[in-house]
Structure 1
Amino acid sequence: MNATKHNKRVAIIEDKPQVGGNCTHWGTIPSKALRHSVKQIITFNTNQMFRDIGEPRWFSFPRVLQNAQKVIGKQVKLRTGFYARNRVDLINGRASFLDKNRIEVRGNKSVEVLNFKQAIVATGSRPFLPPDVDFRHHRIYNSDSILNLSHTPRTLIIFGAGVIGSEYASIFAGLGVKVDLINPGSRILSFLDDEISDALSYHLRSNGVLIRHNEMYESVEGDDHGVVLSLKSGKKIRADAFLWAAGRSGNTDNLGLENVGLEANNRGQLAVDKHYRTEVENIYAVGDVIGWPSLASAAYDQGRSAASDIAQDEYFRFVNDVPTGIYTIPEISSVGRTEQELTEAKVPYEIGKAFFKHLARAQITGESVGMLKILFHPQTKEILGIHCFGDQAAEIVHIGQAIMNQKGEGNTLDYFINTTFNYPTMAEAYRVAALNGLNRIF
């Protein structure tokens, strides 16, 4: 879109029947739509007011997935309309580089060669699949194929306790499935603030998820009745189904990278500079195919920035201040530095907290689990990090992000102390946390 606004002639080569990519069809949209439906089910089954209507209701995984399919359809329609309205040529087929200015597009019945001045590789990623696990077995899934699950298992093993594994652990536990979450590391989501990571572990366990840390798989064997996971520690775990959620690989196979002098790393990812250029100056790469942070939010901005670099407009930026949004139940979001990072950098900091259970809005909605945590400099009161756990965390964090990005003295704790918030709201957590932090330094 950004390139077309600068009068560039743009073509999109899409090898799938519908536009939208991994985010729309297999990643962000279906998993978050699933989560929303499951959260509604949990609310109905646990809210005493609804017990006057009837007994708790249990829904199958395929039934819940139907709502996600509706959202996917709307997203596809929206994006297709964007391309048509902006006169972007949408070409279905598989593209590969012939040289630094030509690509070959193979469709169902045709082969076409396109000339280009600049190209942007935005091919995304797919689940990393170890060769010793049989993903063709009807009880063994990855984070893409799980969306084809046609029944609700009673028990499920999830290998990998990263973002995807933790999100699906929440979703299936919410549907009443007994989940074993196998974590190769010592902590869930170790890049998060320790306190937030610990809170997630606690709430997953309280919802029936059994977490096993520091475990590596030896083998995964499926039969007609279930799956047996053998761990290197000697444990054997059996369940109705198995979900592999450990790592992703960039989609760079068969792109003809060798024809332009490019080579992907062992995870299929391309290296780029601070302008999203690969080692070939007129070929850019953005999104999951370049690795961190592998988020749809970042990919949007990276793509726009790559187009800005090509058009030489004033809006280019290197995307490095990306908030974290993790849609577990409860959800998590953060921006800025953690306590661990500040400690390691020997930066003095103080903490202000607001627990949701003390907020009138949370008491009204019944979403009292969670907290907002502000890290700030004790002398200047500059905000150094915002960490939120609980309902609407991914929305709440953007208030703190906006203030952190202010210039001069506008990014301090004083903004929250001297600003009147609507009452009752979840945003009021900032005022409560700021006053809590102020009490620590006076």
Structure 2
Amino acid sequence: MAKQKSSLKAAKKNTYQYDAIIIGTGPGGEGTAMNLAKSKKRVAVIEKQESVGGGCTHWGTIPSKALRHSVSRLIEYNRNPLFNTKEHRNKLTFPDILNHAGNVISKQVNLRTSFYDRNRISLYHGEASFVDQHTIQVKRPDGSIELLTAETIVIATGSRPYHPPQLDFDHSRVYDSDTILKLKHDPRHIIIYGAGVIGCEYASIFRGLGSKVDLINTRDRLLAFMDAEISDALSYHFWNSGIVIRHNEDFEKIEANDNCVIVHMQSGKKMQADCILFANGRTGNTDTLNLASVGLVADGRGLLKVNENQQTDIDNIYAVGDVIGYPSLASAAFDQGRIAADAIVDGHCSAKLISDLPVGIYTIPEISSVGKNEQELTIAKIPYEVGRAQFKHLARAQIAGTEVGSLKILFHIETKEILGIHCFGERATEIIHIGQAIMEQKNGGNNINYFVHTTFNYPTMAEAYRVAALNGLNRLIK
């Protein structure tokens, strides 16, 4: 009887159009699709938008970092004594830097489209929803319907900005982190509600363009998940640049009219600006998938639960990327896709996300970290020491005029194992990977002495590791 069931299942499997269907073409969907295609699987992907890439390419990571790069270069230019004269002082508008971001997006879309073509992956454009656990309905832009079947379904639909019901996001002065890319003018004054990663990055961008910025933080400090010293350094830099930060605040109501936006806080404060960017929370894109038809239930934020193999409660349905919540990083989403693909092919994947995921936040200046912070080590009662290097002492930083910032290494007092690295300053998201590579070494290779005994190019920002290592080792009690 068991053999008969097995043969029936195999026969049914052969009737499927595809081995796997992936819903969404962001980093998670792309990672899954490419790895399955390399394993000779018949793969289809469904993308709701006209172009591939998902929110990462079109509204999130790529455009915001492109905007940030343009503003950062403008700031460097205007601060450089070679160019800092009244005759040569330059200015950019928000529409100016949007053009640059648009060019980057186009290049990314062309590149990513070629990946699907080269790997012979079928690409469908339209809105996907479940019919049953092996069938997906695709509603095309022209209203026509197509049914696709597969042994395995992977949900990689990402997330979108959270919209509180009392705020009218159709108003011309009210934006979220997606619609802000449609802004056609330079606001003189902008209120940013939400001081998480997105809020802090856009605060840097608009302040760099010369706008007045009020940054409303619903918590007691910026980016509370980061090392306290690094978070405080960013907070001070924001304050010093003219950004007004209001901690521990929640809105009572938000009025948007023809002339301005007025935010009424629960504390009784009122703030007025030209427009508001609401950047406080995100929601998983699961509401249109008809999950009830397959017995899946998303949580209150629209997120799905998965196991270590990215598998949902339905054994042939997987989920990757922002739609499952933490860590909500493009880099991690691609790896989740790789894990899901391996699990689909082999039935199980022994690989896991690395334990110390690097975090990069593209404020001006950048901040980045990997491993434990001081608060975590203190609570765990792990004996550690700190090594620091100030960028202002590095020849490369002096040459480039990027002297704001520092590198901090946390290491075990006895074993000299590196426990955490935290960086604040220009190129921090690149610099962090040098330390991450050493932290990942096994069999005693993770040791702060590496930075003392190796040779760095001179002058470079990487030299900060040697300076910080010597600084920390000199603190040890002899």
Deviations 1:316-358 (A, max 9, x none): 3235432100000000010000101111111111100111001
2:374 is aligned with 1:334: no
CA contact 1:24–1:30 (8 Å) conserved in 2:
yes
In the alignment, residue 362 of structure 1 is paired with which amino acid?
A
Q: Which residue of 2 aligns with 1:185?
A: 219
Q: Do residues 298 (structure 1) and 332 (structure 2) align?
A: yes
Q: What is the alpha-carbon distance in structure 1 between the residues aligned to residue 143 and residue 314 of structure 2?
A: 31
1:17-56 matches, cutoff 5 A: 17-51=50-84, 54-56=87-89
Does residue 61 (structure 1) correspond to residue 129 (structure 2)? The answer is: no
Query: Partners in 2 of 1:211 and 1:53 — Cα distance?
Result: 30
> Is the CA contact (8 Å cut-off) linking 2:369 and 2:423 kept in structure 1?
yes
Deviation track 1:99-148 (CA, whole Å, cap 9, x = no partner) reads 11111111124211111111110000000000001111101111111000
**Rounded Cα–Cα distance in structure 1 between residues aligned with 2:355 and 2:143:** 42
Match in the other structure for 1:405? 440
1:415 is matched by which residue type in structure 2?
Y
Match of 1:283 in 2: 317
CA separation in 2, counterparts of 1:120 and 1:227?
A: 41
Structure 2 counterpart of 1:146, one-letter code: I
Contact 1:23–1:29 (CA<8 Å) still a contact in 2? Answer: yes
Is structure 2 residue 127 aligned with structure 1 residue 94?
yes
Amino acid aligned to 1:214: N
Q: Which has the higher mean CA deviation after the structures are superposed, 57-66 or 283-292?
A: 57-66
Shift in alpha-carbon separation, 1:330–1:242, aligned structure 2, 3 A: same
Name the CA distance, whole Å, in 2 between partners of 1:123 and 1:104: 15
Q: Give, as a single letter, the amino acid of the residue that structure 1 aligns with 2:181.
A: L
The answer for unaligned runs of 5 or more in structure 2 is: 1-33
CA distance in 1, matches of 2:255, 2:86: 44
* TM-score, normalised via structure 1 length: 0.98
What's 1:245 paired with?
A: 279
2:37 paired residue number: 4
Partners of 2:52 and 2:137 in 1: how far apart?
Answer: 19
5+ residue gaps, structure 1: none
Q: CA distance change for structure 1 residues 418 and 92 in 2, over 3 Å: closer, same or farther?
A: same
TM-score by length of 2: 0.91
Letter in 2 for 1:157: I
Q: Which residue matches 2:475?
A: 440
Tell me how far apart the structure 1 counterparts of residues 45 and 351 of structure 2 sit (CA, whole Å): 21
Most deviating of 21-30 and 53-62: 53-62
| Offset of residue 282 of structure 1 | 1.1
- Aligned residue for 1:197? 231
Tell me the distance in 1 between the aligned counterparts of 2:355 and 2:439. Answer: 14
On the 8 A contact 1:97/1:257 being kept in 2, the answer is yes
C-alpha distance in 1 between matches for 2:425 and 2:92: 24
Q: CA deviation at 1:207?
A: 1.0
8 Å Cα contact 1:301-1:319 kept in structure 2: no
2:251 is the counterpart of 1:220: no
Output aligned runs, 1:129-144, within 5 Å: 129-144=163-178
CA contact (8 A) 1:274 1:318 kept: no
Q: Are 2:48 and 1:15 aligned?
A: yes
Structure number with bigger Rg: 2
2:457 corresponds to:
422
| 1:364 corresponds to | 399
- Provide, for residues 262-283 of structure 1, a one-character-per-residue CA deviation record: whole Å limited to 9, x for no partner: 0000000001111110111111
Tell me which amino acid in the other structure corresponds to 2:92.
F
Structural mapping, 1:86-125, within 5 Å: 86-107=119-140, 108-125=142-159
Q: Which amino acid in 1 is paired with 2:379?
A: E
Distance across 2 between alignment mates of 1:280 and 1:314: 17
| Partner of residue 269 from structure 1, selected from 303, 306, 318 | 303
Is contact 1:352–1:437 with CA below 8 Å preserved after alignment? yes
CA distance, structure 1, for counterparts of residue 289 and residue 471 of structure 2: 54
User: Which shows bigger deviation, 312-321 or 80-89?
Assistant: 312-321
SS at match of 1:50: coil
Q: Does 1:383 align with 2:418?
A: yes
Asked if 1 retains the 8 angstrom alpha-carbon contact of 2:284 and 2:322, the reply is yes
Q: Within 2, Cα distance between the matches of 1:180 and 1:220?
A: 14
The one-letter code sitting in structure 1 at the alignment partner of 2:135 is: R
Q: What is the Cα-based RMSD across aligned positions, in Å?
A: 1.2
Query: Would the aligned equivalents of 1:13 and 1:95 in 2 still touch at CA under 8 Å?
Result: yes
* 8 A Cα contact 1:306 1:316, kept in partner: no
The number of equivalent residue pairs is 442
Q: Give the distance between the partners of 2:416 and 2:228, measured in 1 at CA.
A: 22
**Do structure 1's residue 163 and structure 2's residue 197 form an aligned pair?**
yes
Instruction: String of CA shifts for 1:4-26, please: whole Å, max 9, x gaps.
Output: 00001110000101111000000
Q: Are the aligned partners of 1:19 and 1:80 in contact in 2 as well (CA < 8 Å)?
A: yes
